[in-house]
């Protein structure tokens, strides 16, 4: 019984000691000076046994590292922010690297293949779910494969922004691609009226009856719109871009798809197709 009481007293003493240390630390916070300027940490530094304890996140920020936690492996990964691997092909022969930037982006992207290395203009969001996509296809019809890189530059409620980059797989020379958003805006016009939502897409008219529209008039856009959500894809050797037709940030009524063809050294928008979702057909 005496031994148990002693254990209890010892634990109590440790708890009280810890409480005293924490109280002292709060009253006398340890400052972290980074190149002469105070760095405000997320968790206050602690001094224990003549050792200064800092959180992994704060240390990573100070030393320019990137920290992530793997739930499956129950492990903390600390990696360089500079030229980290952000995407690669299944055989690992083609890779995209980049630098960790601010505000959740990866910048200074670089495409590395067995034949060449070159910069990729633009950024990609720092989210593994939206990592760059690397595709090999003959999209210009010359009988040789190109590398098609699809970047995700932003996303959110009712918004998905992407960019496509195409290069010759041997030389690394860029093949210009017409901007999809510009193409979509040229092909689309829409307005609301008593008859519902009127859409004109590539000189074809479509009408969505008022009874089919789910969003209240007060929550709709000023007029039906396209361009907030744009996705690039390759089917076979055909480059495509698709945008959603929206009546509000959360109501989508159909998809407009543009197929690209190679002409005069540029991948240009060619055919336009609109698919109205079944629930909106009159």
Q: What is the pLDDT of residues 32-65, one digit of tens each?
A: 787 777 777 778 888 888 888 877 777 776 666 7
CA distances from 70 to 21, 55, 73, 175 (A): 32, 17, 5, 38
DSSP state of 82: T
Average per-residue pLDDT for the chain: 86
CB 197 within 8 A of CB 208: yes
Closest to 253 in 3D by CA, of 273, 230, 232, 224:
224
Cα separation, 106 vs 82, in Å, equals: 10
Asked whether residue 22 carries a pLDDT value surpassing 60, the answer given is no
Q: Which contacts qualify for 202-208: CB closer than 8 Å, 24 or more apart? A: 202/272, 202/274, 204/274, 206/254, 206/274, 206/276, 207/282, 208/247, 208/253, 208/276, 208/280, 208/282
pLDDT of residue 54: 77
Spell out the alpha helix ranges (H) of 130-217: 180-187
Asked whether residue 84 carries a pLDDT value surpassing 70, the answer given is yes
pLDDT of residue 13: 39
Confidence of residue 78 (pLDDT cuts 50, 70, 90): confident
pLDDT of residue 5: 37
**Residue 168 burial class via C-beta count within 10 angstroms: exposed 0-12, middle 13-18, buried 19 and up:** middle
Q: Pick the residue with more confidence: 34 or 238?
A: 238
CA distances from 236 to 10, 72, 204, 239 (A): 72, 35, 28, 8
Confidence of residue 220 (pLDDT cuts 50, 70, 90): very high
pLDDT of residue 81: 66
DSSP, collapsed to helix, strand or coil, labels residue 281 as: coil
pLDDT of residue 63: 67
Q: What are phi and psi of 82, to 5 degrees?
A: -85, 125
pLDDT of residue 1: 40
Lowest mean pLDDT among 21-35, 59-73, 109-123, 180-194: 21-35
pLDDT of residue 18: 45
Per residue in 244-270, pLDDT (tens digit) is 999 999 999 999 999 999 999 999 999
Spell out the alpha helix ranges (H) of 63-187: 180-187
Cα separation, 192 vs 69, in Å, equals: 48
Mean pLDDT calculated for residue range 101-124: 93
CA 238 to the chain's CA centroid: 24
Asked whether residue 23 carries a pLDDT value surpassing 70, the answer given is no
Record the tokens describing residue 234, joined without a space: 């390759």
């Amino acid at each position: 019984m005496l031994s148990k009481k002693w254990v209890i007293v010892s634990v109590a003493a440790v708890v009280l000691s810890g409480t005293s240390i924490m109280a002292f630390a709060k009253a006398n916070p340890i400052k972290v000076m980074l190149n002469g300027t105070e760095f405000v940490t997320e968790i206050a530094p602690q001094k224990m046994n003549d050792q200064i304890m800092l959180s992994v996140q704060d240390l990573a920020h100070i030393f320019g590292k990137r920290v992530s936690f793997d739930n499956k492996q129950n492990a903390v990964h600390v990696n360089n922010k500079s030229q980290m691997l952000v995407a690669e092909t299944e055989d690992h022969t083609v890779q995209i690297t980049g630098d960790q930037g601010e505000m959740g982006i990866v910048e200074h992207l670089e495409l590395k293949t067995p034949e060449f290395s070159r910069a990729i203009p633009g950024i990609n969001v720092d989210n593994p779910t939206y990592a760059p996509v690397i595709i090999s296809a003959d999209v210009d019809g010359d009988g040789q494969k190109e590398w098609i890189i699809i970047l995700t530059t932003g996303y959110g409620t009712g918004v998905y922004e992407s960019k496509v980059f195409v290069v010759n797989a041997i030389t690394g020379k860029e093949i210009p691609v017409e901007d999809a958003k510009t193409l979509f805006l040229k092909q689309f016009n829409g307005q609301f009226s008593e008859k519902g939502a009127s859409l004109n897409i590539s000189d074809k008219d479509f009408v969505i009856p008022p009874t089919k529209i789910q969003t209240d008039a007060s929550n709709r856009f000023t007029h039906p719109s396209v361009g907030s959500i744009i996705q690039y894809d390759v089917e076979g050797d055909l480059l495509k871009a698709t945008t959603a037709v929206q009546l509000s940030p959360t109501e989508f009524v159909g998809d407009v798809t543009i197929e690209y063809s190679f002409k005069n050294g540029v991948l240009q928008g060619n055919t336009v197709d609109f698919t109205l979702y079944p629930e909106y057909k009159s």
